[in-house]
Amino acid sequence: MADLEIRGLTKIFPGGMRALDGLDLQIQDGEFFALLGPSGCGKTTLLRSIAGLETPNSGEIHIGGRDVTRLPPAARDVAMVFQDYALYPHMTVADNIAYPLKVRRVGRKERREAAESVGRSLQIQGAMLDRRPGQLSGGQQQRVALARAIAYRPHVFLFDEPLSNLDARLRLEARTFLKQLQRELGVTTVYVTHDQAEALALADRMAVMDQGRIRQLDTPSNCFLRPANTFVAAFIGSTPMNLLPATVQEGTFEVAGQKVMIPEAIRAKVSVGDTVILGVRPEYVSVSPTELPGSLTGTVRVLENLGVDSLVTVEVGDLRVQATVPEERVPAVGDRIWLAPDQRRLLAYRQDDGEQVGAPKVAQSDAPALVPGAE
Amino acid sequence: MSSRAADRPSPPRGASTPPEASAAALQTRGAVAFLTPALLLIGIFLVFPALWTLYLGITDYRLTGIQAAQPQVIGLDNYASALGDPAFANSLWVTLLYVLGSAVIGQLGLGFALAWTFRRWRGPARNALEVLVIAAWIIPSSVVAFLWIAFLDTHNGTLNAALGNADIPWLFSWPLLSIIVFNTWRGTAFSMLLCGGALNTLPPSHLETARLAGASTWQQLRDIVLPSIRGHLLTNLLLISLWTFNDFTPYLITAGGPNFATDTLPVYIFRNALINFQLGYGAAISAILLLINLVIALVYLRLLRARS
C-alpha cells in the first residue's frame, strides 16, 4: 500500500510532441484515482511513466515515499492491466494468473495455490483455470487479467482502459465489480479512461487532462457540477453542457438578445460590459409552456428520447439550448417554450481563457479556450 | 407474405433450363477454360518429369552405351546399391550436418537474433540493414560463389588478408564449416524478415506485462516470445530446411571436395548422373531425396499441429 506523488513530470516524444507538460499530482494511499481526457491528452503516457514503461524527460515519481523515477518497471511494485488484457494465449488461465510468481521462481505447487485462491475471489475457478484465454468470454478474460494483477500483490494498480473492450452491458457490471474489488483490496489505483461516465462512477478523485496538463483535479461530483473551465464542462456529462456566449449588463446576462438573471454567487465576479460564456447542464434547465420570470424563450427544433427523460433542443435567437424534460411534460416540435436555468447551477466562464470567472488567471495558458459554437 | 408467394404462377416446366443452372454451367466451363493452361504447364514441367524420374530410377539408363539406347528395367537394384554405398552414407551425413548447421542453427538462429536485436529500429538505419542482408540473398548463386572463393582463397583471399596474410587454407582445412558459414550468410535474410514479421504480430502489452513482473530478456524469450511465434518459426524452419537440403550452390565453391567432405546429396546425384553418366542411379537417389524431404515436411507439420 502506498501513496503516489508526481512532481513536474515532463515527457517529450521524439518529434517534439509534448505529451506531459510539467505535471504535478498527488494520489493518496488506497485512493481510486481516474485520469480522464480525450485521446492524445497524455493520460496513457502518464500511466506508462508511473509504470516505468516510458522514461520522462524531467520530473520525479515517488511511490510510497520512494523515488522510483529511474527504477526499472519491475522494481516499482506496480501491476498494470492493459486494454487488450495481454493474456498469453499459449498458457492456461492458471499459468497466466501465476506468471508473475513464476518469474520470481515460486514453486509450481504454490503458484497453483495462488492462482486458485486469487481466482476464487474473481469467480475464476474449477475447469476454467485449465482453459486457454482464447476459450473464455471477454468478461472472463478481463477478470483473468485482473487476477494476474492481484496475484502480483502490488503497491499500486495501473489500469489502462480495462473495460473498453467489453460490450456496453458487461461494462456496467464489470464497473461495479471493479469498484467493489478495489474497496476490498484497498490498493491505490490509477485508472485511465476516455469515458467520462466510467471516471465519474469509479473514482474517488479524478484529473481531467488536455494537452499534457491537468485541467481540473477534483471529486467526480465537483467535476460534474462545477467544471473549472469550458473544456471540462464540454467533456463531462452524457448530454453536453450548454455553453452560451453572453454579455454582462446591470443585474442580468444578455443571451441572444434575451435576459437571464445573474446568480448571487457570480454577481461580484463580473462587471458590466464583460463578455462571458454561460454554462448550464441540460439537466438543470427547467422547461415551461408558459412564460417564466428571467427565462429564455424559443422554438423546439429537435426531440431526442433518452429513456426516462427527453432531450429538447430549442432555438433561442441564433443559439441552440438543450434541456432535459421528464416524459409527461415533453413538448412538440415547433412549440414555443420557456427555459429557466437553475440559478444555483448556472456557471460563467471567461471568454478568453475559458476558466471560471473569479478564478486566478493561469499564467502559462497557451491552451486555446474552448469557444462554443452556435449549437 | 408466404401465401402470396405460393399464389404466384409457377414457371413452365421443361420449357427451358432455369437461368441459375445455365449460369452455373457457364461458370464451370469458364473455370475449366481458365485452369487448363496452368494445369497443362504443371503437367508438362512438374508432374511428368517427377514420374519420369521415378521410372528412370528403376532402370539402368545411362548417358552412353547400350543402356542409353535400350535401358532395361532392373527393379530396385539402384536403391539396393545406393544403400550399400559408403559414399552415399557419407553424402547423407554431410547433408544432415549442412542442413543442421547452416539452416537450423545458422539461418534461423542468426535471423532471429538479428530480428530481435533490431526490432525497434525504424527508418533509414533499418532499411540499410535490410538491404545489406537481402543483398546476400538475391545476388545470383554463381556470383556469390565466386565472391566466397575470392574471400576464402589461401594466398590472396580477403579473409586471410584481413587476418594479416595468415595463408590459412580455409576451403581445404574446414571445407564443411566454410560452406555452412557461406550458406548461413546467404540465407539469413529470409529468416530475419520472417522472424521480424512474426515479432511484429506480438502485442507490445505482452512483453510489457512481463517486464512489469520482472522477467529478464531470457525469460521473456522463453515464456512469451518463442511460444507466441512458434508457428512462424516452424514454417520458416520447414522452408529453409527443404531449400538447404536441395541446395547445389556449395558445388560451385568446393565441387564436393576435398575428399568428398562437402559432397551433399544434390552434388552426389550430379556426380553420379551427369559425370559418371549413371542416369538411372541418379534418378533413384533423387527419389530418395524426395522421400527425405517429404519426411522432413511431415515432421514439421506434425509439430505445427501439436500446437492446438
Q: Which residues pair with A337 in a beta bridge?
A: A298
Task: Report the predicted TM-score, pTM, of the whole model to 2 decimal places.
Answer: 0.78
State pLDDT tens for residues A115-171: 888 888 888 888 888 899 989 988 889 889 989 998 888 899 999 998 988 888 888
DSSP chain B: -HHHHHHSPPPPTTSS--HHHHHHHHHHHHHHHHHHHHHHHHIIIIIHHHHHHHHHTTB---SSSHHHHS--B-TTHHHHHHHT-HHHHHHHHHHHHHIIIIIIIIIIIHHHHHHHHTTT--THHHHHHHHHHHHHHHS-HHHHHHHHHHHH-TTT-HHHHHTTS----HHHHSHHHHHHHHHHHHHHHHHHHHHHHHHHTS-HHHHHHHHHHT--HHHHIIIIIHHHTHHHHHHHHHHHHHHHHT--THHHHHTT-STTTT--HHHHHHIIIIIS--HHHHHHHHHHHHHHHHHHHHHHHHHHHTT-
Do B213 and A103 count as a contact with CB atoms less than 8 A apart?
yes
What nine digits make up the cell of A295?
427565462
Would you call A241 helix, strand, or coil by DSSP? Answer: coil
Q: Would you kindly state where each structural domain of chain A is located, as residue ranges?
A: 4-231, 239-282+293-350
* Residue A362 confidence (pLDDT): 63
Q: Which helix (H) or strand (E) holds A309?
A: strand A309-316
B296 and B196: one domain? Answer: yes
Q: CB–CB of B205 and A86 under 8 A? A: yes
Main-chain phi, psi angles of A20, to 5 degrees: -130, 135
Angle A341-A343-A347 from CA coordinates, rounded to 5°: 85
- pLDDT given at position B18: 64
Quick: pLDDT tens for A8-50: 999 998 888 889 998 999 999 999 999 999 988 999 999 999 9
Q: Do A86 and B224 touch (CB under 8 A)?
A: no
Residues B31 and B171 grouped into a single domain: no
Residue B94 and residue B34 in one domain:
no
The reply to whether B103 and B43 lie within a common domain is: no
Residue B127 lies in a domain: yes
Residues in chain A, overall count: 375
Asked if the model's pLDDT at residue A372 lies above 50, the reply is no
Q: Tens-of-pLDDT digits for all 308 residues of chain B?
A: 344 444 444 444 544 556 667 777 888 888 899 999 999 999 999 899 888 888 888 888 887 777 777 777 787 888 888 888 888 889 999 999 999 999 999 999 999 999 999 888 888 888 888 888 888 888 888 899 999 988 988 888 888 888 887 788 888 888 899 999 999 998 898 999 999 999 999 999 999 999 998 888 999 999 999 999 998 999 999 999 999 988 888 888 888 778 888 888 899 889 888 888 888 888 888 888 888 889 988 998 888 887 54
pLDDT for residue B307: 59
Chain B residue whose CA is closest to A54: B208
Within 8 A of A52 by CB-CB distance, chain B residues are 212
List alpha helices for A4-159, DSSP H. 43-51, 93-97, 99-103, 108-121, 138-151
Find, in chain B, the residue whose alpha carbon is nearest to that of A50: B212
Output the pLDDT for position B60: 80
Mean pLDDT (whole number) for A333-348: 92
- 8 Å CB contact of B227 and A80: no
Q: CA of A208 to nearest chain B CA: how many angstroms apart? A: 25
Compute the count of residue pairs across chains A and B with CB atoms less than 8 Å apart.
Answer: 60
Which residues from B are below 8 Å from A74, CB to CB? 211-215
> Tell me, what amino acid is at A191?
Y
Is the Cβ pair B213, A84 closer than 8 Å?
no
Give the domain-ending residue among B69, B94, B114.
Answer: B69
Question: Are both B30 and B179 inside the same structural domain?
Answer: no
For A98, nearest residue in chain B (alpha carbons): B213
Rounded to 10°, the helix B141-152/B175-200 angle is 130
Q: For residue A303, which phi and psi values (nearest 5 degrees)?
A: -120, 130
Asked if A84's CB is within 8 angstroms of B203's CB, the reply is yes
CA-nearest of B248, B244, B256 to B296 is: B244
Q: Taking the mean position of all CA atoms in its chain, how far away is CA A303?
A: 28
Cα–Cα distance between B102 and B250 in angstroms, integer? 12
Nearest chain B residue to A80 by CA distance is B209
Supply B299's cell numbers.
515432421
Cell of B56: 528412370
Sheet with strand A18-27: strands edge to edge: A18-27, A4-12, A58-63, A66-67
Are B46 and B115 found together in one domain?
no
- Residues A29, A85, A216, CA angle at the centre, nearest 5°? 45
Contact B213 A53 (CB under 8 A): no
Please give the Cα distance from B166 to B156 (Å, whole number): 10
* Same domain for B234 and B102: yes
Per-residue confidence (pLDDT) for residue A62, from 0 to 100: 93
Nearest CB to A86; choose among B206, B219, B230: B206
Q: Could you tell me the fold of the domain covering A4-231?
A: Rossmann fold (3.40.50)
Nearest CA-CA distance, residue B228 and chain A, Å: 7
Note whether A90 contacts B219, CB cutoff 8 Å: no
In a domain, B147, yes or no: yes
Looking at chain A, the whole-number percentage of residues with pLDDT higher than 70 is: 96
Counting Cβ atoms within 10 Å, is residue B26 exposed (0-12), middle (13-18) or buried (19+)? exposed
Contacts of residue B240, Cβ cutoff 8 Å, sequence gap at least 6: B103, B104, B107, B108, B187, B190, B191
CB contacts of B206 in chain A (<8 Å) are 86, 88
CA-CA distances (angstroms) from residue A306 to A239, A323, A324? Answer: 10, 12, 9
Domain carrying residue B23 = 16-69
In degrees, to the nearest 5, what angle opens at C-alpha B113 toward C-alphas B111 and B115?
65
- Locate cell 429557466: which residue? A340
From the list B212, B219, B223, the residue facing A51 with the nearest CB is B212
At residue A8, the 3 state secondary structure works out as strand
The pLDDT score that the predictor gives to residue B6 is: 45
> How many domains does chain B contain in total?
2
Nearest CA in chain A to B213: A100
Q: Which of B120, B202, B205, B212 to mutate to test the interface with A (most CBs of A within 10 A)?
A: B212
The nearest CA of chain B is from the CA of A360 a distance in Å of 41
Interface of B with A (CB under 8 A): 203, 205-206, 208-215, 219, 223-224, 227-228, 230
Residue A354: the pLDDT is 86
Same domain, B104 and B212: yes
CB contact under 8 A, A74 and B211: yes
Contact B134, B188 (CB under 8 A): no
Taking the alpha carbons of A252, A255, A259, A265 in that order, is the dihedral positive or negative? negative
Inter-residue contact A216 to A58 (CB < 8 Å): no
pLDDT at residue A169 in the model: 85
Residue B2 lies in a domain: no
pLDDT digits 0-9 by tens, A15-26:
888 899 989 999
Which of B206, B213, B230 faces A74 most closely, judged by CB atoms? B213
B212/A82 CB distance under 8 A:
no
Query: pLDDT tens, A99-117?
Result: 988 988 888 898 888 888 8
Q: Do B208 and A102 touch (CB under 8 A)?
A: no
Fold adopted by A239-282+293-350:
OB fold (Dihydrolipoamide Acetyltransferase, E2P) (2.40.50)
Chain B residues near residue A72 by CB distance under 8 angstroms: 211
Q: Do B224 and B265 fall within a single domain?
A: yes
Q: Among A47, A53, A87, pick the best mutation site for testing chain B contact (most B Cβ within 10 A).
A: A53
Query: Is residue B58 located within the same domain as residue B114?
Result: no
Identify whether the C-beta of residue A7 lies closer than 8 Å to the C-beta of residue A67: no
Q: How far is B276 from chain A (nearest CA, A)?
A: 53
Contact (CB, 8 A) for A144 and A97? yes
Among the partner-chain residues A80, A83, A104, the one whose CB lies closest to the CB of B209 is A80
Chain A CB contacts of B234 under 8 Å are none
pLDDT of B16 reads: 56
> How many CA atoms lie within 13 Å of B149's alpha carbon, on the beta-carbon side?
13
Same domain, B40 and B91: no
Interface test with B, best of A45, A99, A132 (most B CBs within 10 A): A99
Residue in chain A nearest B308 by alpha carbon: A90
Mean pLDDT of A65-94: 91
Q: Is residue B210 part of a domain?
A: yes
Q: Is residue B9 part of a domain?
A: no
Cell of A316: 433561442
Q: What pLDDT shows up at residue B42?
A: 93
The nearest alpha carbon in chain A to B230 belongs to: A90
Q: Which of A49, A77, A80 to mutate to test the interface with B (most CBs of B within 10 A)?
A: A80
**pLDDT value of residue A367:** 46
Cβ of A80 within 8 Å of Cβ of B214? The answer is no
Question: Which residues of chain A are at the B interface, by a Cβ-Cβ cutoff of 8 Å?
Answer: 51-53, 72-75, 78-80, 82-84, 86, 88-91, 99-100, 102-104, 148, 152
Residue B7 lies in a domain: no
Residue type at position B127:
N
CATH code, domain with B217:
1.10.3720.10
Task: Nearest by CB to A86, from B203, B227, B230: name it.
Answer: B203
Residues B62 and B109 in one domain: no
Of A53, A72, A152, the CB nearest to B208: A53
Residue B60 lies inside a defined structural domain of this protein: yes
Q: Give the angle B73-B75-B80 at the CA atoms, nearest 5°.
A: 130
3-state secondary structure B10-35: CCCCCCCCCHHHHHHHHHHHHHHHHH
Contact B189, B136 (CB under 8 A): yes
**Single-letter amino acid code for the residue at B151:** F
Determine the distance in angstroms separating the CA of A303 from the nearest CA of chain B, rounded to an integer. 35
Q: Count Cα atoms within 13 angstroms, Cβ side, for A332.
A: 2
pLDDT, average across residues A196-203: 92
